[in-house]
């Protein structure tokens, strides 16, 4: 299996970086091919702009998604985007590895998503969810955070359940472009626990990675369940 890890943490000595390093060692040790995009080390530009296109379809007005389509079709994407898109298309599995910032990803990773999930290649028209441009691939989130697990246990917890918080990323982004999204791995409370406790989390993450093939993907829509106007098809109730 080909695996792309997109890593977004500003501190090379962080626990999140240790998760990335463990993932590389574990997955390569299991016989997989692994590439890493370390966004801070790459000095990745997170800003989507007109500079992302070497030639513009419409030089007078920037419609970013339409320019993405034209640039991808004609080979006019900026070199940094083209290189990351090649890695993404190569990969069977995408791992986004990051510290949780405000129940979301760091800005540098959001910029990778904005610039690399290119319209016309990854999605477009009715090419989304199970008909998306990245259908057949899988994705997962691995992240560290300061909160404790009971704070996200269910809707009665102080922060509520994870699923609605992660839905824009897991469903609205990764599943939208066609990937089957695996359950996330969360490393809880890491700034406040002992080195021994962090070691336990890394052991759990290793076991999680070695069991990827047995993990069922999270539910996501199938366009077969919707009509041409994307209204849900109703099951007829027997008389």
pLDDT in tens, 166-214: 999 999 999 999 999 999 999 999 888 899 999 999 999 999 999 999 9
Residue 237 lies in a domain: no
Average pLDDT for 41-67: 96
- The first and second tokens of residue 57, run together, are 């379809």
Per-residue pLDDT at 228: 85
- The first and second tokens of residue 205, run together, are 């993450």
Ordered alpha helix ranges (H), the chain:
15-29, 64-74, 79-90, 107-116, 162-169, 195-210
Structure confidence at residue 92 as a pLDDT band (50, 70, 90) = very high
- Tell me which residue of 126, 125, 173, 165 sits closest to 147, measured CA to CA: 165
Residue 233 lies in a domain: no
Which pLDDT tens digit goes with each residue over 155-176? 888 877 888 889 999 999 999 9
Length of the chain: 239
Name the one residue in this structure whose structure tokens are 């296109």. 53
Residue 95 lies in a domain: yes
Is 27 a residue whose pLDDT tops 60? yes
Per-residue pLDDT at 154: 77
Per-residue pLDDT at 106: 97
Average pLDDT for 11-26: 97
DSSP 168: H
Average pLDDT for 143-160: 84
Residue 238 lies in a domain: no
Total count of domains within the chain: 1
Name the one residue in this structure whose structure tokens are 């986004």. 96
- Tell me which residue of 150, 60, 29, 165 sits closest to 105, measured CA to CA: 165
In the chain, the percentage of residues whose pLDDT exceeds 70 is 98
Better-scored residue on pLDDT, 63 or 235: 63
- Tell me which residue of 106, 117, 232 sits closest to 176, measured CA to CA: 117
Q: What is the CATH number of the domain that holds 163?
A: 3.40.50.360
**Dihedral pair phi/psi, residue 223, rounded to 5°:** -65, -15
Residues near 106 by beta carbon (within 8 Å), at least 6 away in sequence = 8, 9, 10, 98, 99
Residue 236 lies in a domain: no
Which pLDDT tens digit goes with each residue over 221-239? 888 888 888 898 875 544 4
CA angle 183, 187, 189 (to 5 degrees): 140
Domain limits at 117? Answer: 2-225
Residue 52 lies in a domain: yes
């Amino acid at each position: 299996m080909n695996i792309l890890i997109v890593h977004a943490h500003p501190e090379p000595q962080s626990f999140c970086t240790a998760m990335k390093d463990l993932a590389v060692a574990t997955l390569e040790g299991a016989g997989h091919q692994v590439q890493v995009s370390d966004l801070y080390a790459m000095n990745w530009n997170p800003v989507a702009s007109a500079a992302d296109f070497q030639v513009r379809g419409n030089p007078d007005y920037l419609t970013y998604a339409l320019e993405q389509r034209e640039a991808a079709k004609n080979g006019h994407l900026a070199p940094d985007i083209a290189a990351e898109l090649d890695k993404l298309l190569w990969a069977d599995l995408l791992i986004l590895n990051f510290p949780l910032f405000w129940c979301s990803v760091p800005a540098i990773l959001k910029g990778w998503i904005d610039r690399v999930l290119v319209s016309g290649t990854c999605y477009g028209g009715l090419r989304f969810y199970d008909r998306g441009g990245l259908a057949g691939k899988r994705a997962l989130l691995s992240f560290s955070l300061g909160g404790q697990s009971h704070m996200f246990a269910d809707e009665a917890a102080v922060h509520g359940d994870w699923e609605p918080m992660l839905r824009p990323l897991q469903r609205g982004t990764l599943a939208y472009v066609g990937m089957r999204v695996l359950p996330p791995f969360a490393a809880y409370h890491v700034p406040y626990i002992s080195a021994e406790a962090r070691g336990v989390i890394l052991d759990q993450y290793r076991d999680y990675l070695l069991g990827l093939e047995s993990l069922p993907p999270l539910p996501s829509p199938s366009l077969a369940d919707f009509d041409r106007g994307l209204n849900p098809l109703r099951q007829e109730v027997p008389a």
